[in-house]
Amino acid sequence: MSDRLQKALAHAGIASRRAAERLIRAGRVSVNGEVVVALGTKVDPEHDAIRVDGKRIPPPPAHATWLALHKPRGVVTTLSDPEGRPTIRDLLRGVRTRVYPVGRLDYDSEGLLLLTDDGRVARDLMHPSSGVEKTYLAKVRGVPDAESLRRLARGVPLDGKRTGPARVRIVKRGENPWLEIVIAEGRNRQVRRMLLAEGHPVQRLRRVAYGGVSLGTLGAGDLRPLTAREIDGLRKASGGASPRARAPRAPSF
């Protein structure tokens, strides 16, 4: 399965996509013994010999690692942070496989975050065309009326484009109720912005499901390996095959 060279380098963890483009332009990348300087060159990471500065990058793993993490609030969904804030790397102690997050949860949000070393499936899951549903619980200021709930379900304008259909219901009533919101998009801070557009700013936001994977009773900051059934469901949702899954060599969760 072919991919653009800079993407293949990024998915292999060599560099960010922009940095990978600079490596290519500098003539530091070769494919099957030929130096490549053209961006967008198609490669097959599973079969082509891709080298950076003469060192071959490893092909995609024969076995994929998939983890579920309960990201707490106050943690950045990156492996490093120039501001020195806590990152998800701090929660991956004992995980020897180099894994990356599937999508993001913002600093003030919490809940289910998937991590994997299967870059191809992760990328396909994050693509807007995948239609993978994400379920959130949001505590909001004020009580949305029936018409507001209908507008949220139909879609609200954000950045000049209406959001896709959603399923929205109140799951815990009160002056500041909890809503359940199911969306199949992944725009930046989408749930927060949707609710703010309706005059109900979010006080707390938790993702409780991603596709067929649920947060369940996983404690804040804790990890667990995904089951074979969960991984198979994600593979099918991505629209393609993926390597066989493995549990990470890590302490018990």
Q: What is this structure's pTM?
A: 0.74
The answer to whether residue 67 scores a pLDDT higher than 50 is: yes
Tokens 């609030």 sit at which residue? Answer: 73
**How far is it, in rounded angstroms, from Cα 212 to Cα 234?**
7
pLDDT for the residue numbered 62: 61
All structural domains of the chain, each given as residue ranges with its CATH number in brackets, are 3-56 (3.10.290.10), 63-128+218-246 (3.30.70.580), 133-210 (3.30.70.1560)
The answer to whether residue 240 scores a pLDDT higher than 60 is: no
Do the bridges between strand 42-43 and strand 63-71 make them parallel or antiparallel, or are there none, so unpaired? unpaired
The answer to whether residue 38 scores a pLDDT higher than 70 is: yes
The answer to whether residue 154 scores a pLDDT higher than 70 is: yes
pLDDT averaged over the chain? 89
> Are the C-beta atoms of 77 and 104 separated by less than 8 Å?
yes
pLDDT for the residue numbered 52: 95
The answer to whether residue 199 scores a pLDDT higher than 80 is: yes
Confidence of residue 247 (pLDDT cuts 50, 70, 90): very low
Distance, first Cα to last Cα, the chain = 35
pLDDT for the residue numbered 59: 75
**How far is it, in rounded angstroms, from Cα 46 to Cα 14?**
16
pLDDT for the residue numbered 1: 59
Which residues are tagged catalytic?
Answer: 106
> Are the C-beta atoms of 187 and 83 separated by less than 8 Å?
no
Q: Which residues pair with 18 in a beta bridge?
A: none
Q: Which residues pair with 140 in a beta bridge?
A: 202
Cα 14 → chain centroid: 19
Provide the percentage of residues in the chain whose pLDDT is more than 90. Answer: 66
Of residues 214 and 57, more confidently modeled: 214
* Sign, Cα dihedral of 142, 72, 212, 119: positive
Confidence of residue 198 (pLDDT cuts 50, 70, 90): very high
